[in-house]
Structure 1
Amino acid sequence: MEEKLKFDKQKSLFRLIAISAIAVIFVPVLYSGIYLSAFWDPYGNFNNVPIAFVNLDKPVTKDGKQYNIGKDIENNLRNNTKIGWKFVSYDEAKRGVSGTSYYALVVIPEDFSAKIAESKGGKFIKPTIIYEANKGKNFVFAQVSERAAESIKSEISSNIQEEATKALASGLYDVKNSLKTASDGAASLQSGTDKLLSGSKQLSSGLTTATNGSKQLENGLKDAASGEAQLSNGINSLIIGLNEFKNGLSQNTSSVNQLVTGAKSVSDGLSAVASQTQKADLPKSLTSAADGIHQINTTLGQVSSLLASNNQQNIEQAKAIISQLISNINSQGLESKLRTAATSSGTLSTSLNKLSAGAQQVSAGTTKLASTLADVQTKSLTGVNQLIDGANKLKTGSNSLLTGLNTATQKTGELSTGLTALNTGAINLSTGLNSANDGALKLKDGLNNGYTTMNNSLKFSVEDVSKFTTNPLTLSDVSINAVKYYGEGLAPYFISLSLWLGALLTNIIISLTKLTKVVKYKFLKTYTGTFLAGSIIVMCQAIILSLLLVNGLGLQTSNIGLFYIANMFIAVVFFSIMYGVSYAIGLVGTPILFVIFVLQLASSGGTFPIETAPKFFRLLSPYFPMTYSVEGLRMITSGINSSRFATISMALLVFMAIFYIGGFVINRTFKGLKRLKAEAD
């Protein structure tokens, strides 16, 4: 009866252990499966997380354009289904964030559009978006909502950048066009300075000539002043001569009158002689006639001499008549004939009659000559008076001219000095213009080069440059080892945790089995047999977990077969560690293994890169197996680096060998020491 109760008790204990072993098989599934399924794709479900959006912005109009940025943002967010935007009042949003309704709020202030309008107009006033999150409610989602607010900021910033870039690009084109205009102007300036330089050289040459000419003019004016003095003396002599000529004309009038009187007396005398020839004493009369003719000849000689100084035509005619008269009288030898007649007794009466007729002709001619000479003399006197008056005026003008010439001579000297200074200035001007011309040439070349450079650089339109500056690059995502879901990224970490916990519980159950001695099979009681039994259990855990992840959650792997093998291998490695520790030091090793488990949570780089962990955990990381299991599973789920994967596999194999062999050696060493101690006692 006692044996039966003992058997039933062992049977019940075996069943309990068997049930526990079966339950332990599903521990990794429960741990990883439940957690990963709950958070497999949390970012895809953010549309259910409420965030309050408050639009207080007031539209404004500037430069004919309306700005209503707040409304534009609101309309865009209404079409955004990635986050659960709630469009509420400011008061409700504040109450909701402080309470339980909203995880965060985003507020567009009332001056938002106004500031953007001013910014686009050249006044850089930064608009503000108010973001407030209840981070204590959920820190991870607070980070996500903050990125949403940053996204709004980036979108608006991009819009502002686009407008500012348009203005800048337009300004660049204006600068380019201005450079072209300036270049053309510089070319014209250079051409002008070149001409001006040429003209300055001509000016300098002309001023040199003018300076020399002014000196010659000064000398000429001095000579002219000297000649003018001589001219003045000549004019004085002319005036004196004219006065003498005037006096001569007056004397000529008296002589002509005497000639007329004499001619008339001769005529009368001859007439008397002719009528009295036979009555009077002929010789005496002839002698008297000869004396009259002598007087006529003398008088006519005087008149001819006086008339010889007159240039008028009538005077010349009178001179000719008188000369002809004298010539006739002389040619006829009247005087000698009369004197001969006075002594002869010929036909004197007849000759006297002829002589009386000739004398009458002479008297008539002389009267006519006197009339003509009187008219010519009157006109000559008038002309001489006018000539004297003009000569006096010429003298006055000559004196003024002399004074002016003296002044001009003085001023010409000053002009020469000024022209010399001006010539020096013209030379300096030419030098300066030469430098200016060089500068204008360099300016033209520089502006041309600047325009060419800008023209070669500005190959884009204003729209193109604004779009390019707003979004200057395209991110070509050629990432390797892509992970689609949040759960896929965490799966290697949670698989390792699950398999560690599963191996830990499996080891506890196996240890209890050995203590209760419910197993009767001799092989299973051995070190290797127990290890194989535990390995089978943990491999079952790995297979079930892999099935759930692949078929249940849709985990994508680079190699599905390798994924199963790797999970089973990791499970055996973890179990070998725990089995070796517990075989070496007993159940005391379980708490140690749990501490190792906790340390591995922080040092395996399961959630964040190990580089972000404190130095203590970075130092521990290479000495824990979970570090390698997480990295290896990541390669299998996303992409394998064969060399690194081989290193990881070798490291896990080393962990398994060390703990499997080490546990056996330590256990046998302790038992040997105990036996030696017992024998010694």
Structure 2
Amino acid sequence: MKASWKIFLKDIKNIATNWVALVLIGGLIVLPSLYAWFNIEASWDPYGQTDQIPIGIVNEDQGATVQGEEIHVGDDLVQTLKENKSMDWQFVEREKAMNKLEYGDYFAVIVIPENFSERLGTVVSGEPEKANVDYYVNEKINAIAPKITQKGATVIVEQISSNFISTVNGIIFDKFNELGIELEENLPDIEKFEDYIFTLEEKLPEIHRILDDSTSDAERAGTLIDQAQAMIPEVEEATETGLQTIDDTTAFLKDAEDRLDEIAPKVEEDLASIQNMLAKTNDFVNSIDATSIDLTDGTQISKVSGQIDATLQSIQTIKDALTQLQQSGEQGEPGSGGDPSSNEGSGSESGSSNQETIDNALNELESMEQNLLTLQEQVNGVQDSLADKQAEVNGILSTMKERTEAVNKQVDAFVIEYKESIEPTIREEVAVAKQTLSDARGILADIQSTIPEVEDMLYRTEANLNDGKDMLQYINNEFPYVNDKVMELANKIRSVQDETDINEIINLLQNDPEAERGFFAEPVVLNENSIFSVPNYGTGMTPFYTILAIWVGGLLLISLLSTEVHDKKDYSGRQVYFGRLLTFILIGVFQTMIVTVGNIVILHVEIMEPFWFILFGLLCSSVFIMIVYTLVSVFGDVGKALAIILLVLQIAGSGGTYPVVLLPEFFQMINPFLPFTYAIDLMREAVGGIVWNRVIHDLIFIIPFGIVALILGGFMKESINKHTDKLKKKSKESGLFH
């Protein structure tokens, strides 16, 4: 062991006294740390620089109209991306974008097709279609860039989907909220509807009875319409008859009016003659003196009797004329024929008044005639009784005077009444009767013109009634089905009332649409709780690049430093092995101290346990130096090749960059047998936080690698070198190896 220490101390002295050696060793100490630092710095935060990655955005969306509203999702997305700084978005036309993608100016191109909004709008239709976003990537530019750009494209799709889902669900829950409010407002109506259903269920038998009665009434109404239609010809005939009767009556009234015009002058003339004769008679009677009357002279008496006869004849003429007028009036009365309805109203009253006036005039004439006849009888009695009753003459003459004066006054009064009342009344009543008949004729004419319309109405009513009968029959036939459905609905309402409270439904529907929109935009919130937090990618890669730098440092040492001593004959193989091993380990310690401390001080890597980080690095460096040094010391140049091969296998199979489970099966199989596996895990424990069970586990597996190397070099070097010296000598003869 003293010899080994002698070799080690001699190496230290040679390095310290030879500046060239010192510079070379110094370079070997620092160089591995540069390898680690550059890689750690380069990978410090690669995803934080994605805003430097150019990605082309082509918006060809034409928009769409959904339920009367225009939507332009493509434009909205472009506007959103303009505010998004996660990547270097370039908004260009398709041709330019594809050219730049092909030449590598763009890492990827995202194309929003022209039917993008239209397809999203189909969500409200019965056949919704998914919208597509075309993604183009140039994968030959870089191995990692396509994954980063794909993540950007995925984020865009997720953002569109999230916004779309939140918008659609916001609208849905907005409608739900409106429905809940409307249900709450209409709750009294809903409850009233339920009562209506139950009432309808209760009244169904009565409704059925009413339907049967309505069907029977419709049958009876059909019979009445048939009877009315059968009476239409009779009504037409009666109307025709009434019109003919009115026309005939009007003609009679015209004739009566004409006769009145003819008779009136004659009547006035006769009345004047009567007045004249009565005046003469009165004068004659007044002139008679009973004392001077010659009873035997009948000339004067005969004269008086003749005047009375003339007066009676005139009265008879007037009576005949009035009777004729009375008969004409009776024939012209509206009630004398035609439509019975025309017997009502003023026409009937006017006719009665006219007849009454004529009757009164005839009665007065009759009275006058009776008085004159009595007077004539008295005159004749005077003549017959002259011989026997001379004594009574004075009394008779006195009576005659009185009667003559009364008749005269009566005639005068009748003349006045005739002129002032009888004739005007007759003319007025005739005019009224004519007007009444004219009105009645108009009414009948209207009735006659309405008959076709009534007939059409009856036909239409008959047709509608037939349709109504068919409908009633249909309703009667469908009533059992309606009855069953109403009862079924009533039972369902009772069931719902038993199982569900509508107030609970209303409370469930009523919500905050904005809150629901936010929920569906991000229904699950990922609460990240980092255990053994690593702040960035560079920190996470520090264990791998540090261990790799330590191994590379060992390879540099075996490449430049010899594992043998010049005065080899003075030392045994084992002494040379351990003596030079101490030199390699010391240089490795300096390499490890620089790279580990530099990570903390220069790169400011956040390490949870810096002391253990440095200590674990020194342990790993010692083990690696033992392995590499032993391989070269024992196997020579073959050992160098083996150290390089082992480095390659460990880079791929140690799980330093990718999880072991993602590696090919071969690397998963050799992973437990690689020193890197445990060395990297030890450094990760120090970086993120130590779990001592894992540290002990890693130490148990990594330390044996160094022990095996010491055993191999310390006890088998000399025997193996006897066989490898020939190989070394032969390789030197080539002039290519030292």
For 2:163, the equivalent position in structure 1 comes to: 159
Distance 1:607 1:16, change over 3 A: same
Does the 8 Å CA contact 1:186/1:444 hold for their aligned counterparts?
A: no
1:573, CA displacement in angstroms? 1.2
For 2:611, the equivalent position in structure 1 comes to: 561
1:483, CA displacement in angstroms? 2.3
- Which of residues 655, 659, 663 is equivalent to 1:609? 659
Q: Distance in 2 between matches of 1:187 and 1:619?
A: 78
Q: Distance in 2 between matches of 1:38 and 1:601?
A: 18
| 1:484 maps onto 2:488 in alignment | no
Task: Provide, for residues 397-420 of structure 1, a one-character-per-residue CA deviation record: whole Å limited to 9, x for no partner.
Answer: xxxxxxxxxxxxxxxxxxxxxxxx
1:620, CA displacement in angstroms? 0.7
Q: Distance in 2 between matches of 1:656 and 1:577?
A: 6
Distance 1:184 1:159, change over 3 A: farther
Alignment of 1:249-288 (within 5 A): none
For 1:445, the equivalent position in structure 2 comes to: 495
2:557 maps to amino acid: T
1:111 maps to amino acid: N
- Which of residues 98, 104, 113 is equivalent to 1:109? 113
Q: What secondary structure sits across from 1:52 in the alignment? A: strand
| 1:465 maps onto 2:469 in alignment | no
Does the 8 Å CA contact 2:578/2:714 hold for their aligned counterparts?
A: no
1:463 maps to amino acid: E
1:668, CA displacement in angstroms? 5.6
For 1:38, the equivalent position in structure 2 comes to: 42
| 1:546 maps onto 2:592 in alignment | no
Alignment of 1:242-641 (within 5 A): 440-446=490-496, 449-450=499-500, 451=502, 454-455=505-506, 457-458=508-509, 460-510=511-561, 512=562, 514-517=564-567, 526-641=576-691
For 2:468, the equivalent position in structure 1 comes to: none
For 1:135, the equivalent position in structure 2 comes to: 139
1:508, CA displacement in angstroms? 4.3
Q: What secondary structure sits across from 1:86 in the alignment? A: strand
Task: Provide, for residues 85-129 of structure 1, a one-character-per-residue CA deviation record: whole Å limited to 9, x for no partner.
Answer: 222222211110011321111222233333334435676232222
Q: What secondary structure sits across from 1:605 in the alignment? A: coil
Q: Distance in 2 between matches of 1:202 and 1:124?
A: 52
Q: What secondary structure sits across from 1:607 in the alignment? A: coil
Q: What secondary structure sits across from 1:114 in the alignment? A: helix
For 1:51, the equivalent position in structure 2 comes to: 55
| 1:188 maps onto 2:196 in alignment | yes
Distance 1:456 1:663, change over 3 A: farther
1:436, CA displacement in angstroms? 6.8
Does the 8 Å CA contact 1:21/1:509 hold for their aligned counterparts?
A: no
1:502, CA displacement in angstroms? 0.9
Q: Distance in 1 between matches of 2:504 and 2:164?
A: 28
1:491, CA displacement in angstroms? 1.8
1:182, CA displacement in angstroms? 6.1
Distance 1:439 1:84, change over 3 A: closer
Distance 1:546 1:70, change over 3 A: same
Q: Distance in 1 between matches of 2:717 and 2:513?
A: 82
Distance 1:62 1:669, change over 3 A: same
1:557, CA displacement in angstroms? 0.5
| 1:149 maps onto 2:176 in alignment | no
1:610, CA displacement in angstroms? 0.3
Q: What secondary structure sits across from 1:514 in the alignment? A: coil
For 1:644, the equivalent position in structure 2 comes to: 694
1:612, CA displacement in angstroms? 0.6
1:633, CA displacement in angstroms? 1.5
Q: Distance in 2 between matches of 1:126 and 1:51?
A: 24
Distance 1:648 1:145, change over 3 A: same
1:188 maps to amino acid: Y
Does the 8 Å CA contact 2:577/2:713 hold for their aligned counterparts?
A: no
Using structure 1 for the length normalisation, give the TM-score: 0.57
Does the 8 Å CA contact 1:513/1:519 hold for their aligned counterparts?
A: no
Does the 8 Å CA contact 1:524/1:530 hold for their aligned counterparts?
A: no
Distance 1:120 1:558, change over 3 A: farther
Q: Distance in 2 between matches of 1:460 and 1:520?
A: 94
For 1:100, the equivalent position in structure 2 comes to: 104
Task: Provide, for residues 349-394 of structure 1, a one-character-per-residue CA deviation record: whole Å limited to 9, x for no partner.
Answer: xxxxxxxxxxxxxxxxxxxxxxxxxxxxxxxxxxxxxxxxxxxxxx
Distance 1:670 1:591, change over 3 A: closer
1:542, CA displacement in angstroms? 0.9
- Give RMSD over aligned pairs: 3.9
1:104 maps to amino acid: A
Q: Distance in 1 between matches of 2:523 and 2:647?
A: 48
2:150 maps to amino acid: E
Q: Distance in 1 between matches of 2:560 and 2:567?
A: 12
Give the number of aligned pairs.
440
For 2:128, the equivalent position in structure 1 comes to: 124
Distance 1:589 1:17, change over 3 A: farther
| 1:24 maps onto 2:21 in alignment | no
1:462 maps to amino acid: P
For 2:458, the equivalent position in structure 1 comes to: none
2:673 maps to amino acid: Y
Does the 8 Å CA contact 1:51/1:105 hold for their aligned counterparts?
A: yes
Identity of aligned residues (%): 24
Q: Distance in 2 between matches of 1:116 and 1:201?
A: 53
Does the 8 Å CA contact 1:183/1:447 hold for their aligned counterparts?
A: no
For 2:302, the equivalent position in structure 1 comes to: none
Task: Provide, for residues 43-77 of structure 1, a one-character-per-residue CA deviation record: whole Å limited to 9, x for no partner.
Answer: 22222222222222334454453423222222222
1:192, CA displacement in angstroms? 3.5
Q: Distance in 2 between matches of 1:192 and 1:162?
A: 45
| 1:657 maps onto 2:738 in alignment | no
- Which of residues 93, 105, 110 is equivalent to 1:89? 93
Unaligned stretches of 5+ residues in structure 2: 1-12, 211-478, 725-738
1:545, CA displacement in angstroms? 1.0
Does the 8 Å CA contact 2:563/2:633 hold for their aligned counterparts?
A: no
Bigger shift: residues 515-524 or 630-639: 515-524
Q: What secondary structure sits across from 1:51 in the alignment? A: strand
Q: What secondary structure sits across from 2:111 in the alignment? A: strand
Does the 8 Å CA contact 2:573/2:717 hold for their aligned counterparts?
A: no
1:174, CA displacement in angstroms? 6.8
Task: Provide, for residues 4-26 of structure 1, a one-character-per-residue CA deviation record: whole Å limited to 9, x for no partner.
Answer: xxxxxx98997665544332212
1:468 maps to amino acid: F
Q: What secondary structure sits across from 1:53 in the alignment? A: strand
Distance 1:141 1:670, change over 3 A: closer
1:483 maps to amino acid: V
1:560, CA displacement in angstroms? 1.4
Using structure 2 for the length normalisation, give the TM-score: 0.53
Unaligned stretches of 5+ residues in structure 1: 1-9, 204-428, 675-681
Q: What secondary structure sits across from 1:105 in the alignment? A: strand
Does the 8 Å CA contact 1:54/1:105 hold for their aligned counterparts?
A: yes
